[in-house]
Amino acid sequence: MPGARECAFPVGPPPELLVYLDWGASSWHLSGALRLPPRSGRATARSLTCAALLYRFVAEEWLLTVNDLKHFAYCEAIVYLTHRMGVRETPTEYMEYGREVEKEEHVQQLLKKYKVARVLRGVHLVSRELRLTGAPDFILVTKLGELIPVEVKWAEPAPRGRVKRDHVVQLAAYALLMERTWPGSRFSVKRGVVLYLKPSPKFFEVPLTAEDKKAVLDMLKRALDVVRGRAEPRKRARCTGCNYHAHCPFRSYQ
Ligand code: SF4
């Protein structure tokens, strides 16, 4: 699991790895935070318990990631390829460069607009109830206590300056995870932000409605069925530009 990175924000994120777990079962429920201070390297009994649970989540192999869902929204065949056939995405130069982009400097422009009190990075969200895990690029905590997931994309928006559908799915999935796992009171995550860096940095606020979240829950259910081999993936009509094309038995040659 990747460690948390310290951001150069004036308000500063907590300099530790955070994992928020939601372990839902018929008879009991645990929602907790795993905090591993990097400097001392000491772990508490609580953090060790959370780490053991997290290990069990992964070992059970029933988790999908938010990235899986984002791919599923693009083409259902991708989760079949990655989870059942072990195919890895062919890395492109574009993707490699995207990893190197210093995302922190671009998020600065959001601080004033959203009256941000804290910016969190490296927060891993895990929900057994949803069978889903993921880590948004950033979580903004406003002065009013609102939580806003933020994704930074080394990409262009969709035609006519719209947010791409798979990115809306990604934000709605993070919203669902945050609502189920965040310690303390229950609340609704009502909006997220996508920051597209191409052709020039521009951010888009995305309302996250109950319908969006319901659509993601339906998509998650279907993705789990595909991963388990209970449903056939529906493939895209066109495969142009897909990074899985070389290894995909479902590909079309149009
Ligand atoms: S090659 Fe086509 S069918 Fe296969 S994953 Fe890519 S878009 Fe889907």
Buried b (16+ CB within 10 A) or exposed e, 116-139: beebbbbbbbbbbebbbbbbbbbb
235 lines ligand 1 (CB under 6 A): yes
Q: How far apart are CA 227 and CA 60, in angstroms?
A: 14
234 lines ligand 1 (CB under 6 A): no
Give, for ligand 1, the residue of 68, 83, 244 to mutate: max count of ligand atoms closer than 8 Å to Cβ. Answer: 244
Cα-to-centroid distance, 117 and ligand 1 (Å) = 42
Closest ligand 1 atom number to CA of residue 75:
8
pLDDT for 17: 46
Round to the nearest angstrom and report the end-to-end CA distance of the chain. Answer: 39
Q: What is the ipTM of this complex?
A: 0.98
Query: Pseudo-torsion of CA 137, 188, 126, 195, nearest 10°?
Result: -10
Give, for ligand 1, the residue of 79, 248, 252 to mutate: max count of ligand atoms closer than 8 Å to Cβ. Answer: 248
Q: How far apart are CA 67 and CA 207, in angstroms?
A: 20
Q: How far apart are CA 7 and CA 119, in angstroms?
A: 8
Cα-to-centroid distance, 126 and ligand 1 (Å) = 28
Tens-of-pLDDT digits for all 254 residues of the chain?
A: 333 333 333 333 333 345 665 554 433 344 444 444 444 445 556 556 666 666 555 555 567 999 999 999 999 999 999 988 888 877 666 565 655 566 777 888 899 999 999 898 888 888 878 889 899 999 999 999 899 999 998 889 999 889 999 999 999 999 999 998 887 656 789 999 999 988 888 999 999 999 999 999 999 999 999 988 899 999 888 888 888 988 898 888 66
pLDDT for 63: 79
Write down the domain spans for the chain: 17-232+242-247
In 3D space, the residue among 119, 115, 117 whose CA is nearest the CA of residue 136 turns out to be: 119
CATH architecture, range 17-232+242-247: Alpha-Beta Complex (3.90)
